[in-house]
């Protein structure tokens, strides 16, 4: 699949491009998780101890709810055409849906590079 020529610097516009609607509980949590990962990529080394609790605290919920909500929106994205969008964006192909921390890492890395280039 050919890479897209579109460039995103906003987390929200990137998520919408990947077919993730703002109507999901996990939407704002994903935005926060990506921004926290951009701020400090070491947070991705142990998401259950560092990243999810921070996101949960910000959104007044539990770590397990954050984890479930993020998995749910990634699955919804994958089923609604987000897989093709992600592959076009990154120029990669995927045999399976990425794990949550890998998905966050891919998007955080993409946004970090996009923001640095603009």
Q: What is the pTM of this model?
A: 0.91
pLDDT level of residue 81 (50, 70, 90 thresholds): very high
Assign domain 11-117 to a CATH class. mainly alpha
pLDDT score of 118: 80
pLDDT score of 54: 97
* C-beta separation of 104 from 43 below 8 A: no
Give CA–CA dist 82/42, Å, rounded: 26
Instruction: Read off the pLDDT of residues 31-80 as tens digits, 9 standing for 90 and up.
Output: 999 999 999 999 999 999 999 999 999 999 999 999 999 999 999 999 99
In the chain, the N- to C-terminal Cα span, in Å, equals: 25
Start-end of H helices in 6-117: 11-17, 26-39, 51-58, 63-79, 82-90, 100-117
pLDDT score of 6: 62
**Mean pLDDT value across the chain:** 92
């Amino acid at each position: 699949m050919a890479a897209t020529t579109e460039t995103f610097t906003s987390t929200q516009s990137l998520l919408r491009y990947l077919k993730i609607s703002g109507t999901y509980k996990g939407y704002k949590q994903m935005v926060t998780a990506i921004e926290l990962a951009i701020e400090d990529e070491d947070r991705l080394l142990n998401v259950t101890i560092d990243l999810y609790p921070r996101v949960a605290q910000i959104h007044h919920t539990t770590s397990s709810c954050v984890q479930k909500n993020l998995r749910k929106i990634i699955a919804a994205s994958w089923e609604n055409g987000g897989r093709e969008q992600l592959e076009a964006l990154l120029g990669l192909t995927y045999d399976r849906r990425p794990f949550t921390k890998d998905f966050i890492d891919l998007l955080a890395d993409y946004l970090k590079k996009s923001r640095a280039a603009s």
